[in-house]
Structure 1
Amino acid sequence: MTTPLTARAPRLRGARSLFTGRAGGVSGGDFAGLNLARHVGDEEADVERNRALLAAEVGLPLAFVDQVHSPDVHVLPASGPVPVVTADALVTDRRDVALAIMVADCLPVLLVDPDAGVIGAAHAGRRGLLDGVLQETVRAMASLGAVPARIGAAIGPSICGACYEVPAAMREESAAQLTELAATTSWGTPSLDLTAGAVAALVGAGVPFAAIEDRHPCTLEDEDFFSYRRSARTGRLAGVIARA
């Protein structure tokens, strides 16, 4: 789906999907633009207006979760209202709702099995990647009939390995669990490449490498996106996916 609020639209067969940026929306100050998060200190009325604008563009109600950097996945009920629960990924086969996941440097990951009609959206930061949030998302999709070998995935705007500086001990600890996370900043210090780690996790879960879109803007480098590393007081962008 391509809308005035779309910063990037993946090419996922069997789904309508998008990633938002700061453009659009009514928030001001540190949250200027399309902030979609209620928990960051923005005016509640502005956040609700932003969410309503995005839902109107998508043409469906949006399902969110309260994100806590966990590996927990919420499978939406088969019908009826969608409760807001604590989790870091959502999965459904419903046509009447779009899944939304929020980030500001972490990875927004959208997934679809077009043949099974099953979609997923996951928030994957360092902790979530190490704890298996993407593997758990694929498993939850499989519980609804998805086949990992048929799943396509798209990774949205997030901090890149050349910018995500971390202490050397954190890089070593993280790489001990997921080798592909280890990276070096453009200025030569230890860093983490969350995108490379996510690709490795998805492939390990059975998603074909060729079916993963992993090129995206860096949220720290590109001021068209919210970045927690740039400013701790900031908004959140979203990855949104619905069945085609």
Structure 2
Amino acid sequence: MSSTGLFAILRVVSLENIGAFLNGDAWRSYSSAHSQPEDKDLFLPFAEQTQRLQIGQEVLVYIYSDNQGRPTASMRIEKFTAQDGTQVYKVEQKVDLIVFAETDLGYKALINNTHFGLLYKNEVFRPLHYLDEISGFIRKVREDGKIDLILQAAGNKGAEELGLMIIQTLEDNNGFLPLTEKTPPEEIYRLFGVSKKKYKMALGFIYKKRLVRIEDDGLHLINK
């Protein structure tokens, strides 16, 4: 089996006894570049599927050449990702992610179309779903090369980004949000997708810059 180096999100166009067939812009571009018939669908064998499929569903796959040189798809993403991230990624580096699996610990995500990592459930404060395309950060690269991910940058960098989100939300609501010390964590999560602890860190960041005013009735944007 030789790999062709292409991850792609494709649509299921038919289900047959031998497997599924896929199509989409990425496959048509690949077909054109590799002298393949552009009107032929891509085969996804049963053995390479990780869930029950339906026609019209989108799936994340890796396109590889089988033992006979035929382009084939696999949903077994981890099998085709690079295994060692120690020389590639640094802590707090911003990366592009595609969520492709959920486990008891968290969510597995494809990183920059090369590696995969894990977002831990106890550090994710918003709903995530299969094929969500999001930005994240490298939390840790372990000695064995495996990668831990996080959605918000740590420390001042994360507080600054969330602070800008708070400012934008204030601007979208005429400069006022009824958020106080007594606001439940669930409401903070609903608005910003983060824990109340991270929200308070970001609030402190923009408060020190005199961008907001904290009063008994809530949060006010300071117009300069």
Q: Which TM-score bucket, shorter chain as reference? A: under 0.3
**Which one has more relative contact order, counting CA pairs under 8 Å at least 6 apart?**
1
Higher gyration radius (CA): 2
Whose strand fraction is larger, Structure 1's or Structure 2's? 2
- TM-score with structure 1 length normalisation? 0.23
- TM-score with structure 2 length normalisation? 0.25
